[in-house]
Structure 1
């Protein structure tokens, strides 16, 4: 048998196994009646959809699944977002705007600010984000995240993405950067983030949007609810030179070619030393744990590694969930969202989501935002627009910070 024949045979075996496992997933986890193997429908070449019922600890829930074959040269995954980091939009709207054939919602985000009177939620996501190879934002400090508690040993820098090699994987993505002004070099503490580390300086660009930058100076590295800093400073750079400064972070759109530096505590003191007209250079780049460069990446929470659930996954709290599974060495991706309709709203625990992904053939798994955010959309046959396949638990789609789009050429 030739190498090509072996590879083709392996692909057919994987597809057959995925279909079989998807059919039996409910039974494997909780004894639900196996669904018909013919339940998989084609969304586009290399993209399939199905749903099945699963009996979990909180009762029967409905699972919606997209299967994505990245071995097809015309199939790819990409970041969906509203065009700005600090903005929100419905998954279906973002998918149609980008001509995606299917999509799910993405990372957790800054949804509320009840603990900081006078501060408005930005809508920006928690973790890093890369779109078409371009870094949009960095990760907030671990204690400043929204969403369920992180499993031991994980961080807000965790991402799921597709590298320049065309394979999906789990990784970590840190931001490294510098601010250089007149023989002084300072570390860059963040990029387009709704929360900055204590004592740091963050950069905001035209990718941020019009939301106030005040939230970036609230909370601490150990408490999201901690008060906003009383020592802040903001400097605006246009074409690399200081053109204005303020003691309080502002808001409003940032024009292209302009960077706003926001400092808190020690970072604020460093910014106050800059003078009008002074030349300042800001540089940054992403550094992945694997050394891989990414075309697309977004934040969330790891669930599975090497086919095994991460230790410490919550097995008590049930909710509607969205998750990503990776199989076949990153060549196949499973996008999963639970149904939020009343009969199924009990959902699953995070540990049960990890088990569901593994039963669908995934060896790596990643948890995304859930509850009212959980949304899975796909185009019906012959349509150029997506429809929502699950039922959002609030009755309508919740505007979210970003999502994973499935694209075909």
Structure 2
């Protein structure tokens, strides 16, 4: 009897410690491409478009498919351009590489001439302001308008399927947030494509021929990032923190660009770091530890050539996630902004171009900060809007 119990115990331990293998759409699509061998293919890809063996989409495609064009998003084909850096057209192996973050953000009819199928494969990170969803939108619209099939090689959402935060209001739509979804939308890029189509968020949505190659083995959990999806998002912890701290880009606070730990540190030369930490810690935020730090942003080509407060010593705060399952990055970020305004009302500023409104998705946050209103008012709105969104997307969930 003891031997049986011990054997069962060993079996349970071995099962609990086994790693679950995730296969993204790219892994499954290339198991058999014979159906597409006579089609003219365009790829939408970057450095994250790799299979589980580390082979990129272009190298996989050119073995069995007729690749005629490549399109790349913000940060370029190899992920070497900093945020906002304009990417020029180029070529690789004689095939044109068209930038969708330069002169045009949408493929033109001339660029899509004779294309039969678009293969789309980009690693998103689950935050509304991350621009790969905007690129997806424009590519889908071009596909619909030009009668071209689009196949999404889906990938996991590293932040999982949790939904949090306020919904974007349409009048604040921009390339850092085009659609009325919460900041943390909880969708994969394939699920988002279905949402775009079914809600008619593009021209000729009803005409689009859309196919999703699903992820296998992923069930909505956090997943570590093995390839940085952009220069300033090196890992999962940064991607989680970015979900809230990206809002600092719309202020005169350094969000840590120009350091080796962007978004994990932030500050300004005039910041009273300890006083801000004391205020935020009094709110009993969970899953995070805050420490004072000083840092000096430097020019880092390919990451941040001209960071805020370049070469100036900043008093900062470093963020350490202690439990990713309970941390609320958006609430943390807003708590910082409100505490910093309260302690530095004459120093703290938001961008005059309304960029913080675009990131947040409305002007409600800025009004809340400067009117001295309670964060609880925002939390009620976030909860209501995220609950409605979760109900709305139920028919489009794939995982």
TM exceeding 0.5: no
TM-score, structure 1 length as denominator?
A: 0.22
TM-score, structure 2 length as denominator?
A: 0.23
The higher-RCO structure (CA 8 Å, 6+ apart) is 1
Q: In proportion to residue count, which structure has more helix?
A: 2
Q: In proportion to residue count, which structure has more strand?
A: 1
